[in-house]
């Protein structure tokens, strides 16, 4: 699957007292980007949970904060699938403003059984859609 782009406007609630985006806000923006990538690939997380009992969780994240976003900026969260493992998914995410890189992250997500909390293989149909 190709990259997915999600535009987001920065609001007061995303910033600290100085009008600069609070570092934890970037985690929410990237979560939205990952969710929208799955949706664009045809993976409905609610249906996957209902049918298989599986949920996706972040198991690792490495983030480089390069430049700040500020109040009223329009940023773009770009998400790409890097690799599909048996029960995991590696993603590359960037956040930019006007083509200027602000944040870069490498993220690993795992499919786990919600009841047991243990890793579980990605269902074949989900794998096909993500490999797309």
Q: Which of 16, 44, 64, 72 is catalytic?
A: 16
Phi, psi of 61 (to 5 degrees): -150, 130
Q: How far is CA 16 from CA 28, 70, 74, 130, in A?
A: 15, 9, 17, 36
| Separation CA 77–CA 28 (nearest Å) | 11
Tell me if residue 106 is catalytic: no
In terms of C-beta density within 10 A (0-12 exposed, 13-18 middle, 19 or more buried), how is residue 24 classed? exposed
The sign of the torsion formed by the CA atoms of 81, 28, 54, 115 equals: positive
Is 99:92 a contact under the CB 8 Å cutoff? no
Q: If residue 109 lies in a helix (H) or strand (E), which one and from where to where?
A: strand 100-113
Residues forming the active site: 16
């Amino acid at each position: 699957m190709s990259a997915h782009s999600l535009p987001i406007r920065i609001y007061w609630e995303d910033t600290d007292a100085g009008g600069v985006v609070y570092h934890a806000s970037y985690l929410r923006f990237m979560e939205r980007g990952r969710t929208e990538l799955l949706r664009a690939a045809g993976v409905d997380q609610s249906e996957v949970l209902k049918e298989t009992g599986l949920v996706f969780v972040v198991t690792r994240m490495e983030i480089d904060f390069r430049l700040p976003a500020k109040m009223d900026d329009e940023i773009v969260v770009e998400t790409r699938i890097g690799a599909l493992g048996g029960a995991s998914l590696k993603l590359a995410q960037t956040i930019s403003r006007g083509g200027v890189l602000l944040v870069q992250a490498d993220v690993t997500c795992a499919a786990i059984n919600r009841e047991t909390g243990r890793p579980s293989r990605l269902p074949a149909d989900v794998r096909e859609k993500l490999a797309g």
